[in-house]
Amino acid sequence: MEDILLALEQDGRLTAAQLAERLGRPEEDIKKQIAKLEAEKVIRRYRAVVDWDKSDSERVFGFIEVRVSPQRGQGFDAIAARIMEFPEVHSLYLMSGTYDLMVVVQGKTMREVAYFVAERLAPLESVLSTATHFVLKRYKVDGDIMVERTENKRLPVTP
C-alpha cells in the first residue's frame, strides 16, 4: 500500500496501468487497492500543485496568529469548527507556544484578507487577539520548491 501512496503523492495522475508497471504488480490489484484507499479516505483527493505567482490570477496568503480563550468542555475544537468552514481559510492548525491557532487565509488581494480578519475572525467571541502576516514570496510549499533552479548537466556518456 505504502508504495502506491508514495507514488501517487508524487504524481496523482499516474494510472493504475502505470503504477502496475512501475511497482511490478497486477493492474487489477492496484485498482482494488486504490479504490480501498479512496473509500477509507486515506486518499482524500487528487489535485494540482499550482504556482499562483506564475499564473494570471492574483492569490494572496496571510498567516494569522490567533489567541483564543478555550471554551469549557470543548477546548479549542468549537472555535476551530467555527473558523475552518470559511472558504477563505486555506489551512488551520492548533499550535503550541505564544498563540493558539494558526489560520492561513487566502484571498485575491491583501485588502480582502485583511477584511476577512477584521470582519469575520477578530469579532468571534472567544478570539482575544489576531496578528496578520502576509506572504511575500512562496519558496517551498507542501514539499515543492517554487523557485526556478538551474538544471544540472551531466556528461552524456560516462562509464
User: Footprint of another protein on this chain (CB under 8 A)?
Assistant: 3, 6-7, 21-24, 152, 154-159
By 3-state DSSP, what share of the chain in percent is helix, strand and coil, each rounded to 5? 35, 25, 45
CA angle 139, 144, 149 (to 5 degrees): 65
Smallest distance from another protein to CB 31, Å: 18
User: Quick one: 6 or 81, whose CB is closer to another protein?
Assistant: 6
User: Quick one: 136 or 155, whose CB is closer to another protein?
Assistant: 155
Smallest distance from another protein to CB 7, Å: 7
Smallest distance from another protein to CB 17, Å: 11
| Residue 149 Cα to chain centre, angstroms | 23
Alpha helices in 24-76 (DSSP H): 27-39
CA angle 7, 8, 11 (to 5 degrees): 95
Q: Are 79 and 124 in contact (CB under 8 A)?
A: yes
User: Quick one: 16 or 83, whose CB is closer to another protein?
Assistant: 16
Smallest distance from another protein to CB 13, Å: 12
User: Quick one: 96 or 150, whose CB is closer to another protein?
Assistant: 150
